[in-house]
Amino acid sequence: MSEVVRLKDVAKVYTMGGERVEALSGVSFSVSSGEFVSIMGASGSGKSTCMNILGCLDVPSRGAYLLDGVNVGELSQNELAEIRNRKLGFVFQGFNLLARTTARENVELPLVYGQVPAAQRRERAMAALERVGLAGRESHYSNQLSGGQQQRVAIARALVNEPSIILADEPTGNLDSKTTVEIMTIFQQLNSQGITVIMVTHELDVAAFTGRHIIFRDGLVVSDTPHAAQSAATIGEVPGL
Amino acid sequence: MSTFLQSLLIAVRALRVNKMRALLTMLGIIIGIAAVIAMVAIGAGASKMISDQISSIGSNLLLVIPGSTTSGGMRSGGGSSQTLTYDDAKAIKDECPSVANVAPTVRGSGPVVYGNQNWSTVINGVTPEMLAVRDWPLDSGRNISQSDVDGATKNCLIGQTVADNLFGSTDPVGRIIRVKKIPFTVIGLLARKGQSPQGQDQDDVIYVPLSTAQRKLLGSQHPNTVGAIMIQAQSADVLQKAQEEVTALLNQRHRIGPSREVDYTVRNLSELLAVSEQSSQVMSLLLGSVASISLVVGGIGIMNIMLVSVTERTREIGIRIAIGAKRRDILLQFLTEAVLLTTCGGIVGMLLGVAGARLVAALVGWPTLVSLNTIVIAFAFSAGVGVFFGFYPARKAASLNPIEALRYE
């Protein structure tokens, strides 16, 4: 399988209030196409910083991040915006849908910035909503949807531009356990269709759905192990859910 | 273009969410633009009123009046001596090529009587050219003719004010009135002219043949002298030249030299026009700039609300950037919103301004002029205010750090 992501000795240093904080101190790993990876760690372990770098919202202070073979650190702001638009899909903990906007319009948003014509936008948004099981809900406003449905809209939005990777930052953090299983099932389905998913979580139960666990501590990767992914069908056996 | 349309749609939606706030924000621009348009309209109207009044004297005019007299060491004011004659007027007409018409006049006042009505008015002795020089049409009847002047006939033209007071609604033409107890036939009724720039009623006048006035009504000691000579130049371009020609001719005819003081004055009435036009322009400018201040205040209101809006929507901006919006897209979005606010305000303000100007025109009776220019400028200005005051908040939005913006609560 081809390599999608490669981090080479990536470090990130912030200066906060005059104090130098090293959020990442030399992280290296790579992710192949079609993997389902969870990044775990306590808060402050650097996993969010790593996610921001993977999401091209931030650039490494040191080291290199290659996305599809392109060194992201050398790109301009506009090129980064384009990569976020075309190659990456974001799913956030707080859903982050636009308020007072319909599900379909939320899903269309990345296509708007990708200069896709309106008719095509509509078609692709409807298809993405169908993939996450929300066909027929396209004209509901975000505040008329439940948390699980909102997160599904967010996943559809991440999907709509056919990205190389979906990056999910604690996607089930705000959901109850039943909805968590629903959402994780969707991620598994998408993954089985060949989409690479990288997810940050601090819950082992959630990580259990993924095929690889990378554990962070104090800005370093301390463990990187393959894992037999828990299937949604055997959900009753997952402890704590 | 589609990017622009898209930002327009987003802007419309964003404004619809906060209708009340959008309206209040717009109010500043609405008031500003309405004030600019109404003030400029009123200013332009006033300036037109003044220039109309001035041109009601007649156009391209020079006025020659006699110089001052000295008696017993006391110098009287200009025009008190009797140095200008009918012959001077004829010579000017014949010898100055830049002059179109010459109208010598003598002036007095006295009572006029018709039946049991009487009225005290201004009596002017004139030649037929007077009406052409003053650009003054007749409502009915005929003008004083050269033969009236030659024969010193007892015919007269009367102004509207005199006609109103003596005749009421009766047609005055052909009736006999008594001017200073002498019977005159009314041969023509002058059209209504209105106030002079000095506020005098120009219609309160009767015109009689110059010779009749000199010999029978005003009883001058110097039979052939005239009180003033009005001169109309061929055109505005040669007015200056006409003034020089008249001055040269009169200097020669009056033998003005080192030993003889100038005994007449030539005044250019267009200068009066220029001066008062200038003063009304100053007034327009003043009104306009006061109104512009309110526009600037409105613009600051826009900036304030846009800054609030950027802060409120920090998270939204973060989402948009994460999803692939470029800095330029965000900048354009907020700039469009600001410009939409101000141009909507501009359009409403424009309508209000025009309505306000009409209202003033109807209530106070001032003429107001709303020119297309003003409207276009006001509209462009309101859009400009949007760009100017919207730029800083939009740039602030575009330069947000997406990571922090996404974390913003």
Which of B237, B262, B287 represents a domain boundary (last residue)?
B262
Which of B236, B262, B288 represents a domain boundary (last residue)?
B262
Q: Which domain holds residue B350?
A: 2-53+275-407
Contact A125, A108 (CB under 8 A): yes
CATH number (3.40.50.2300, 3.40.50.300, 3.65.10.10, 1.10.260.40) of A34-59+76-230 reads 3.40.50.300
Mean pLDDT of B344-356: 90
Contact B209, B144 (CB under 8 A): yes
pLDDT tens, position by position, B245-256: 888 888 888 888
Spatial neighbors of B229 by CB under 8 A, at least 6 apart, are: B63, B64, B84, B88, B89, B92, B102, B103, B104, B105
- Give a yes or no: residue B71 inside a domain: no
Distance, CA of A165 to CA of B335 (rounded, Å):
33
Q: Is residue A61 within 8 angstroms of chain B, CB to CB?
A: no
Q: B4: pLDDT confidence band, cut at 50, 70 and 90?
A: confident
pLDDT tens, position by position, A116-135: 888 999 999 999 999 998 88
- pLDDT for B396 beyond 90: yes
- Give a yes or no: residue B285 inside a domain: yes
| pLDDT, position A231 | 64
- Give a yes or no: residue B70 inside a domain: no
Residues B238 and B93 in one domain: yes
| pLDDT, position B225 | 82
Query: Is the interface score ipTM higher than 0.95?
Result: no
| pLDDT, position A238 | 43
Mean pLDDT of B364-368: 75
| pLDDT, position A237 | 44
Q: Return the number of CB contacts < 8 Å for A and B.
A: 60
- Give a yes or no: residue B126 inside a domain: yes
Alpha helices in B56-99 (DSSP H): 86-95
Calculate what percentage of chain A has a pLDDT beyond 90. 51
**Looking at beta carbons, which residues of chain A come within 8 Å of B320?**
109, 113
Contact state of A113 with B329 under an 8 Å Cβ cutoff: yes
The strand pair at A88-91 and B155-158 is best described as unpaired
Question: In 3D, which of B235, B217, B238, B236 has the Cα closest to residue B227?
Answer: B217
- Give a yes or no: residue B62 inside a domain: no
Residues B97 and B237 in one domain: yes
Residues B256 and B309 in one domain: no
pLDDT tens, position by position, A20-58: 888 999 999 999 999 999 999 988 888 889 999 999 988
| pLDDT, position A1 | 60
pLDDT tens, position by position, B37-95: 888 888 888 777 777 777 777 778 888 888 765 555 566 555 556 778 888 888 888 88
Residues B9 and B91 in one domain: no
Q: How many domains does chain B have?
A: 2
| pLDDT, position B79 | 53
* pTM, two decimal places: 0.71
Q: B125: which strand partners?
A: B106, B208
What is the rounded average pLDDT for all residues in chain B? 84
Spatial neighbors of B389 by CB under 8 A, at least 6 apart, are: B299, B300, B302, B303, B306, B338, B342
| pLDDT, position B81 | 62
Contact B22, B346 (CB under 8 A): no
| pLDDT, position A236 | 44
Minimum-distance CB partner of B403 among A57, A110, A117 = A57
| pLDDT, position A234 | 52
Secondary structure letter of residue A235 according to DSSP = G
- Give a yes or no: residue B75 inside a domain: no
Secondary structure letter of residue A65 according to DSSP = E
Task: Give the tokens for residue B205.
Answer: 């006048």
Mean pLDDT of B344-350: 91
Contact B324, A86 (CB under 8 A): yes
Contact state of B324 with A98 under an 8 Å Cβ cutoff: no
- pLDDT for A166 beyond 90: yes
Residues B310 and B365 in one domain: yes
| pLDDT, position B80 | 52
- Give a yes or no: residue B77 inside a domain: no
- Give a yes or no: residue B63 inside a domain: no
Contact state of B326 with A77 under an 8 Å Cβ cutoff: yes
Which of B212, B234, B262 represents a domain boundary (last residue)?
B262
Mean pLDDT of B228-234: 88
